[in-house]
Amino acid sequence: MNMFPQAEPFQPHPNFDDAINRAICQSEIEGGVALDALPVGSVLNVQTANTLYRLENRGEGEVLISGHGEICPEPVLVNFHGSTWGTAMLKMRFIGREMSMEFRHPDKGIVRTSRVREIRELNPSDTGSVTAPSSLPTLQ
């Protein structure tokens, strides 16, 4: 699984506000998963502050998501935008710790989740149990 932080340290962008540069730097420290780096069919369990979501990568920014009692009690195909710090700025097709996921639901429109606490890859050899690969640290 492709996890951040990246090999090269963050370089502040001169045209961004200091708060935005700090948020980008913090997201690299917290880590996350680049959706485009995952193989199609990869399954993640993403624990937010309020909900445990199950996401299956369908490629090209589409995700089959379930877990929320009202928004997606059954798996639904959504267009996954990325993660945000609560502003209009997104890290595209990225699931970041301490960030909110944003996606377009076919019936509910744009949905933002509570902040992501933990990301775990579902081990395909198990029947539903969740594992945390060594390349994907978990939050305590």
**What pLDDT was estimated at residue 8?**
67
**What pLDDT was estimated at residue 11?**
76
Per-residue pLDDT of the chain (140 residues; tens, 9 = 90+): 445 445 566 677 777 777 776 666 666 766 799 999 999 999 999 999 999 999 999 999 999 999 999 999 999 999 999 999 877 788 899 999 999 999 999 999 999 999 999 999 987 654 443 333 334 433 33
**What pLDDT was estimated at residue 133?**
38
**What pLDDT was estimated at residue 73?**
97
Helix (H/G/I), strand (E/B), else coil: 131: coil
In the chain, what is the greatest distance between 2 CA atoms, to the nearest angstrom?
A: 49
Element housing 51 (H / E): none
Pair 110, 82: CB distance under 8 Å: no
Contacts within 8 Å (CB) and 24+ apart, 89-95: 89/20, 89/23, 91/24, 91/27, 91/32, 93/34, 93/35, 93/36, 93/61, 94/32, 94/33, 94/34, 94/35, 95/32, 95/33, 95/35, 95/44, 95/46, 95/55, 95/119
**What pLDDT was estimated at residue 138?**
36
